[in-house]
Chains A and B, each alone.
Chain A
Amino acid sequence: MSRELCDLPAHELASLIRKGEVTAVEALDSTLERIEAVDGRPGSLENGQSFPEDTERVHAFITLTAERARFQAEEVDDKLKTGEIPGPLAGVPFTVKDIYTVKGTLSTAGSKILSNFVAPYTATSAARMEAAGGVMLGKVNLDEFTYGSSNESSAFKPVPRNPWDPSRVPGGSSGGSAAAVAAGEGALSLGTDTAGSIRQPAAFCGVVGVKPTYGRVSRYGLIAFGSSLDCPGPVARNVTDAAMMLNVIAGPDKRDITAVTLPVPDYTAGINEGVRGLRIGLSPDFFKISYFNSDTGEVEEQPLPDEIKAVTQRAADTLSDLGARIVEHVPMPHTRYGIPAYFVISRVEAASNLHRYDGVKYGYRTSDAVTNLKDLYRRSRAQGFGLQPKLRILMGMYVGAAQYSEQYYEHALRLRSKIRGDYDAVFDTDGEYKLDAILTPTTPSTAFPIGDVFGDSVLMQYADQLTVTANHAGTPGISLPAGLDGAGLPIGIQLLGPDFSEATIFRIGRAFEMATENDAWRSERPKVLEDII
């Protein structure tokens, strides 16, 4: 099929709209047509039964807000007609992961317990995108409360599928975001990343995903999972778009004390300056996974698949050819403890955050007859939460309990210091390595088939092994497409940098993009797009 307006990168589309060559309404119509062609039924609590055609569709959306979007698009066009500049995202259609509140829209977190929750206020990052001229298309699906790496745990069925192969997962938890961006259903999406939830689905769906430094983007209006780990961030089709989106959403916010006051640079300004002189590390600790085998009870070490290693090495060679200094054998020895420590820290925070859902203040309340308030809590939570929230509540309570806290929670928090220490050591400008960034594969596998991992909560968590340490450390990371595997599935590479070094990792990512823009794999398109010719 030919490229439509909805396939254009955000910065190109915004530029065409600003110049008057295309209207925001035309861009919206093109995107709505694409959604109609590829998305299929939206996620719903009532959609339990599946139909054969469901298996060929993307199902990114829970709530499509087409009328609201049309109003916004017309507003952008009206502003342009009167000579007003509508902002850097002028007329760019975008989606929002349904873990953010947007006033007047259903904001479900993919959970039955919030299935009727119409938010009374808008998350700061979503509000900033709209204020910058972005056109919000609606809310996209995710793992329930973001708890998963495949989107299969959402209470809203059918769950999203991978546009490159709809028999496979899009990754998660920002799976609806990554699938939508890959399939032309909005050029940008607002995702969240607590252990890799932006970067992993971005890698699986062949798009760019950014986890900014913790504190770079306000968490106000983000329905909380792990409050010390959650990072709002961009999902986009290329590095420039991601940088442009971060320009819009980053910055201090009086409603979030953890949003830092550091000025926001223009991330697009030096993006084409290349990598000459930059020091980029390769760490053997990111080329293997230490995986706990519950059948044997042993921790097993496995190398990554050859195709993923080869794509990452090729990216290193490319960056070297461009003038970067590749530093090998960089030690990141605590990487292997990222997932076990995360099992403790994130669960304690999740359990704390989930206690607020009680069937009283908002959200789902049981319709069963109950005799007292305790029964109301119990019954509403039992019926409203799926298995993954229940698992996190119980795990968080256990490892955070007073008698186990020292053994588990405090120990994990001390290990978090050691994980952070790994990053501090290699980025230290007076240290041995003096790195500007670390290059790694984003994921230990490409997108796995639907149903293959779901249900095994330990195995599912290990999908985040190469991304989670940046969440512990708070440092930024980006995943960008770097090739396809033998089955035609996208492979992502990841760049990790020191605190607030987003401009540098964008620069490296953009250099890689430019150097590989004529590679054969870049002309391949997701299968769902080929199917609608």
Chain B
Amino acid sequence: MSETITREIFDHMVELAALELDEAEAEYLRTELNKQLQAIEVLKAVKLDKDTPIASHGVPYTPEISAQPRKDIIDPFPNPEEIVALSPETEDGYLIVPDIPHEDVE
């Protein structure tokens, strides 16, 4: 089987995805990814005209059936404390997290 997604590319993606994997998970997932990519390869054989449009959804949203964007009026959730309370750790309405690391963007 072809290995389009090498271990190096895979490890980079795992980093970007904010995941950690043990060795067995990594092996399974990389194998499945490469299998899926192979299955996708069949698409390449389909030659499409450059003017074939992109469809980001199927149903055409004509003005007649489309909802209008809501007015820019604040409609607050009636009980924001309920939302904050869902966080695993809070203090005085703030969400508590560990140290946020400083990174220099290259």
| A interface list, Cβ under 8 A from B | 117-118, 120-121, 213-215, 228, 252, 254, 256-262, 290, 292, 294, 297, 299, 336-337, 339-341, 343-344, 351, 358-363, 365, 370-379, 381-382, 385, 387, 390-391, 393-395, 397-399, 407-408, 410-418, 420, 455, 457-458, 461, 471-475, 499
CB contacts (< 8 Å) of A499 on chain B: these are 59-60
B29, B44, B88, B100 — most chain A CB neighbours (10 Å): B88
> In this complex, what residue of B is CB-closest to A413?
B54
Interface size on B, residues (CB 8 A): 60
> In this complex, what residue of A is CB-closest to B34?
A294
**B74 interface residue per 8 A CB criterion:** no
CB contacts (< 8 Å) of B105 on chain A: these are none
Quick check: A372 and B43 within 8 Å, CB to CB?
no
Q: Pick 9 A–B contacts, CB within 8 A, sort by A.
A: A228-B56, A254-B70, A292-B38, A337-B42, A376-B98, A381-B18, A385-B19, A387-B28, A398-B9
Nearest CB of chain B from residue A291's CB, rounded to whole Å: 9
Quick check: B67 and A261 within 8 Å, CB to CB?
yes
CB contacts (< 8 Å) of A259 on chain B: these are 67
Which among A290, A344, A360, A458 is the interface contact of B32 at CB below 8 angstroms?
A458
Quick check: A417 and B55 within 8 Å, CB to CB?
yes
A197 to B20, CA, bound (A): 29
Quick check: B19 and A417 within 8 Å, CB to CB?
no
A134 to B54, CA, bound (A): 41
CB contacts (< 8 Å) of A294 on chain B: these are 1, 35, 38-39
Quick check: A393 and B17 within 8 Å, CB to CB?
yes
Quick check: B101 and A387 within 8 Å, CB to CB?
no
> In this complex, what residue of B is CB-closest to A228?
B57
CB contacts (< 8 Å) of A254 on chain B: these are 67, 70
Quick check: B59 and A398 within 8 Å, CB to CB?
no
Beyond A393-B17, A398-B33, 7 additional pairs, beta carbon < 8 A: A260-B66, A360-B88, A407-B44, A414-B48, A418-B52, A420-B55, A461-B39
Which among B40, B58, B88 is the interface contact of A365 at CB below 8 angstroms?
B88
Quick check: B17 and A394 within 8 Å, CB to CB?
yes
Q: Across chains A and B, which 7 residue pairs bring their CB atoms closest together, nearest first?
A: A474-B58, A474-B59, A362-B86, A365-B88, A382-B20, A292-B39, A416-B55
A376 to B28, CA, bound (A): 24
Nearest CB of chain A from residue B7's CB, rounded to whole Å: 13
CB contacts (< 8 Å) of A297 on chain B: these are 1-2, 38
Nearest CB of chain A from residue B4's CB, rounded to whole Å: 9
Quick check: A416 and B58 within 8 Å, CB to CB?
yes
With A214-B59, A391-B29, A472-B58 in contact, do A458 and B35 touch (Cβ < 8 Å)? yes
Nearest CB of chain B from residue A498's CB, rounded to whole Å: 10
Quick check: B25 and A387 within 8 Å, CB to CB?
yes
Quick check: B66 and A261 within 8 Å, CB to CB?
yes
A261 to B52, CA, bound (A): 28
With A214-B58, A374-B101 in contact, do A417 and B39 touch (Cβ < 8 Å)? no
